[in-house]
């Protein structure tokens, strides 16, 4: 079930053009090959599903679509594909939503932060390299050796602020 507020014409900039989707898929292929990983049909299709989605998708939502297309029907099918994508930098896991979203910049390694709109459920990926550097320093001050971080902001996206109510 997609959020109703998200139906009417609006779509995240990052995912709107089918051009950019094709480009991202292309990048994904390349990136996977470089890493010695195989972007198999299920995995590729899973990435497409995420790219086409407006917000982030739960594993079971992805599973539903995969199953409808003749892939496996059981949870591990979705979780495996999704975990593969996350591990290879092609998708991100949004912990607050128990959901996954396609990476918007799969062409390079990066730390990401996510802006989650409470009104329309859109999820926007923002560059967090700077933020992570600050976090890293704060951590180091505490003697903590940082490996990776989750940064998820909750609020209202521009479109929903502008909307009358």
Partner DNA sequence: GCCTTTTGTGTTATTATATAACATGTCGAT
Partner DNA sequence: ATCGACATGTTATATAATAACACAAAAGGC
Question: With binding defined as CB under 8 A, does residue 86 bind a copy of itself?
Answer: no
Element (H, E) at 94: strand 91-94
Task: Say if CB 31 and CB 43 are below 8 A apart.
Answer: no
The residues, ordered by sequence, that sit 6+ positions from 118 with a Cβ below 8 Å of its Cβ are 154, 155, 156
The set of residues, in sequence order, having a beta carbon less than 8 Å from that of 108 and lying 6+ positions away, is none
The residue within the footprint of a copy of itself, chosen from 19, 145, 164, 165 (CB under 8 A), is 145
Residue 3 touching DNA (CB under 7 A)? no
Residue 41 near which of DNA, a copy of itself, Zn ion, none (CB within 5-8 Å, type-dependent) = DNA
Asked whether the beta carbons of 145 and 139 are under 8 A apart, the reply is yes
Least Å distance between CB 154 and a copy of itself? 5
> Hey, what are 104's tokens?
């918007």
Q: Per rule CB under 8 A, is residue 112 in the interface with a copy of itself?
A: no
| Shortest Å, Cβ 58 to a copy of itself | 15
Q: How many residues bind DNA (CB under 7 A)?
A: 22
Are the beta carbons of 24 and 102 closer than 8 angstroms?
Answer: yes
List of residues contacting a copy of itself (CB under 8 A): 95-96, 113, 115, 117-118, 124, 126, 128, 130-131, 134-135, 138-139, 142-158, 161
Residues that bind Zn ion (CB under 5 A): 103, 112, 117, 119-120, 122, 157, 160
């Amino acid at each position: 079930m997609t959020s109703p507020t998200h139906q009417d014409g609006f779509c995240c900039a990052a995912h709107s053009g089918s051009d950019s989707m094709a480009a991202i898929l292309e990048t994904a292929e390349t990136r996977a090959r470089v890493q010695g990983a195989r972007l198999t049909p299920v995995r590729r299709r899973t990435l497409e599903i995420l790219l086409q989605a407006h917000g982030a998708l739960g594993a079971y939502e992805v599973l539903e679509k995969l199953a409808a297309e003749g892939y496996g029907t059981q949870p591990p099918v979705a979780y495996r594909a999704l975990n593969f994508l996350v591990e290879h930098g092609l998708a991100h896991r949004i912990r607050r939503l128990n959901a996954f979203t396609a990476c918007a910049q799969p062409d390079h390694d990066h730390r990401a932060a996510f802006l989650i709109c409470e009104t329309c459920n859109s999820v926007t990926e923002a560059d967090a390299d700077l933020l992570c550097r600050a976090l890293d320093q704060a951590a180091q001050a505490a003697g903590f050796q940082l490996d990776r971080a989750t940064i998820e902001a909750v609020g209202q996206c521009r479109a929903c602020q502008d909307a009358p109510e």
